[in-house]
Amino acid sequence: MATYHYVAASERFLCEEEPLAEVLQERRDHYREQGKTVDFWLVRQPSFLEAEPVETGDPPVPRPAAAVVSTDAKFIDFMKLRLEWVARGQFEAPTAAVPDPLASL
């Protein structure tokens, strides 16, 4: 079981209003230069947000939602600061409630 960290917001906000694709591409390029394996993913309509044990501590995420998910908490902290108007949270997976951390509805 692993801990996954995420930032989530409405799909429109993350995928249309914010330059998310550019930020993620810069991060992929940085990882490639460092020889690191990519450990973050953009998930549209993430099913983990529907799981009972997943809590953000923030107001509910508008639906349809999108999320950037990573095993790197520092990267998600950076994304929260960069995007600002997103919910931040974490969850454990795989579990009975969240069998696939990257699944979409």
Residue 51 phi/psi, 5° resolution? Answer: -75, 140
Q: Is residue 85 part of a domain?
A: yes
Does 100 map to a domain?
Answer: no
Write the pLDDT tens digit of every residue in 18-75: 889 999 999 999 999 999 999 999 999 999 999 866 655 667 899 999 999 999 999 9
Q: What angle do the packed helices 73-83 and 20-34 form, to 10 degrees? A: 150
* Domain span at 85: 2-93
24 domain residue, yes or no: yes
Task: State how many domains the chain has.
Answer: 1
* Domain assignment present for 38: yes
Averaged pLDDT for residues 84-88 = 92
What pTM did the predictor assign? 0.91
Q: Give domain status of residue 99, yes or no.
A: no
Name the token pair of 12.
């429109």
Instruction: Return the pLDDT at 18.
Output: 86
Task: Please state the rounded mean pLDDT for residues 68-92.
Answer: 95
What tokens appear for 22 in the block?
């550019």
- What CATH number corresponds to the domain at position 80? 3.30.70.1860
Q: Where are the beta strands (DSSP E) in the chain?
A: 2-10, 40-44, 65-70, 87-93
